[in-house]
Structure 1
């Protein structure tokens, strides 16, 4: 049987050390060895996020969407003002969650395929809302937003939450330097661990804002103070998924050992090589401005006449999964994942071999290899 290959924008193929770690013997979530494991994870998450020593890092026991919701549950109270940057499915999810927690939401819109306008955000920050939220890499459209500039513009006046789901662990992320107060990702994205835990980082400013709340945090499960009781003070809060902690620890250590700069170069180079191979077939960049293109998710418009669903179904029969568009872009674009273990030339060689057969395109691999050779990335 052909081994399945995930080239989606999440989940990604599991990193080998993480796969092996899943087979470690089960321990109780209050075992001293597990607390030592957790402490190492916390230290390494500070490195990955570029967080200050006083930041609280942890794993929320759920996927990235729980990481998103935990931030709003802790940092927003009914009636608080928040500015949400929205140019895709996940920015809009941020806005919806904020509204459910009773916040007054100002949306800064950009069309799908375009980054949010920094000057519009700056103008909205003049009213000094409690929070501004932005998706760093919008998974649904392959756009990178100016999260560092937004955080710097808000610093000292407004708390900043950043969705780092398709950036942290694969691209530069400097939480303390930029002035980010809350960041989160999903284990199954850039780190290539199994889904089920959401690595989070909370600044000292954000923790102080939680302590100053007038109302209790409405999400008990991820109340930051309750989570700190377990992670920092080693007190019982809830049962954590120990095996997923093992796997995340291994994947995170592998990422740091490779080096975040090296991982960023890997995804940028591979993104360019994949596009170079496909553009002559009539594919085109969905994100027109090169500055706004997210390296870890390559979004391409389909050639005229190419039927999306049948071709992706044919690839699935050959063991390869790729992802189409969401919402308004369904049937119009492909979103190719270039995060973690998906960002390996051998995986895209396999895709191009199959596409060559399905589309009758002989030169796919040759163009791909030529671009890789020019950038000295072959493995």
Structure 2
């Protein structure tokens, strides 16, 4: 009998199924966090993160020993001081989390909002972007609603203002091309367990030279010791002790990150969009419809679908869970209104959703559901990237 349970199908907005190469890397013998081989590994990770984020050649990149929320918090802890004006774009739960964190570090927070299911409007950002704003922060892909915010357009506004620009790339980096240098992003972060399909527990970050200069000019010490950019730089660049890093998670992330870059970010972008079309067309006859009305505002990596009228959300998800399939419902105001289907990393493949369609068809008495899925999949097969 296997020591492991039956493979569970994760179709959530995170975590995602672990990439096979990352799983293998987890089982390697332990090394010390100050070992020369680990420092060499870290250097490779830094270089690959620069490619993933599209940074300048010497941009500081690193892994924080925590999830994406630590990446979010470290940005405000290092780059915001009490009294700073911070403009936060909030059109969902994670934009609101940004605002809360910034306020806890003493920022005077202004909000730019949009209705749930709609993207932030650049004109609304421009209306509040005054000379005293020290930072603008936005979630690229709002996981809670499946909205893709117009980061390039917002970045263009921020570039001429002198403010730092912070971007939550948790559901975009590693699956969607991200152009930190060209857009003018100063601080970006994601979570290992999202688009890269590595285990949870690491937050890859990238910090521009401009942001590092702001950090260096702080009037007060960074209140978050664990995520202090100076201490992190000492370890990642100076190779001196700061804290014990989770070594095997570094090896696993490096394996998953290298696999993503070998596949190619544009190929991954194509793959996720193709799978999104297949799933949407398959579920449409049941009454599932896109929650985000404007196609250009739909986040490809988190497919938000409005549920059919009378659909037993909790009941069906519970029955799917009994069949080792996890899907996620809405968050907060969208609970019972939408499903959020993860299409990040290894979840954006035909087989996991084949399992879902077979089970869902059985539960709903729709004998044609699995066949419709295969039909739409075949229509896309010629362009589906197989790795």
Q: Provide structure 2 residue ranges, at least 5 long, that are not aligned to the other structure.
A: none
Whether 1:175 and 2:175 are equivalent positions in the alignment is no
- What is aligned with 1:18? 22
- Normalised by the size of structure 1, how large is the TM-score? 0.98
- What is aligned with 2:171? 166
**Deviation of 1:290 (Å):** 0.8
For residues 313-352 of structure 1, the aligned pairs below 5 Å read 313-352=318-357
* Aligned 8 A contact 2:272 2:343 in 1: yes
- What is aligned with 2:86? 82
Distance in 1 (CA, whole Å) between partners of 2:76 and 2:11 is 31
Q: Provide structure 1 residue ranges, at least 5 long, that are not aligned to the other structure.
A: none
Matched residue SS, 1:120? helix
Could you say what the CA RMSD is over the residues aligned between the two structures, in angstroms? Answer: 1.0
Whether 1:354 and 2:359 are equivalent positions in the alignment is yes
Whether 1:255 and 2:266 are equivalent positions in the alignment is no
- Change over 3 Å in CA distance of 1:367–1:378 after alignment to 2: farther
Which of residues 211, 218, 224 is equivalent to 1:206?
A: 211
For residues 218-237 of structure 1, the aligned pairs below 5 Å read 218-237=223-242
* Aligned 8 A contact 2:81 2:107 in 1: yes
Whether 1:122 and 2:110 are equivalent positions in the alignment is no
- What is aligned with 2:140? 136
Detail structure 1 runs of 4+ shifted over 3 Å in the superposition: none
* Aligned 8 A contact 1:345 1:378 in 2: no
Which of residues 305, 308, 330 is equivalent to 1:300?
A: 305
* Aligned 8 A contact 1:86 1:108 in 2: yes
- Change over 3 Å in CA distance of 1:378–1:58 after alignment to 2: closer
Distance in 2 (CA, whole Å) between partners of 1:9 and 1:260 is 19
Distance in 1 (CA, whole Å) between partners of 2:183 and 2:375 is 37
Matched residue SS, 1:300? strand
* Aligned 8 A contact 1:187 1:248 in 2: yes
Distance in 1 (CA, whole Å) between partners of 2:323 and 2:371 is 21
**Deviations along 1:133-153, whole A, 9 cap, x unmatched?**
000000000000011111121
Whether 1:44 and 2:48 are equivalent positions in the alignment is yes
Number of aligned pairs? 379
Distance in 2 (CA, whole Å) between partners of 1:71 and 1:113 is 26
- Normalised by the size of structure 2, how large is the TM-score? 0.96
- What is aligned with 2:296? 291
- What is aligned with 1:310? 315
- What is aligned with 2:101? 97
Which of residues 87, 94, 116 is equivalent to 1:112?
A: 116
* Aligned 8 A contact 1:184 1:198 in 2: yes
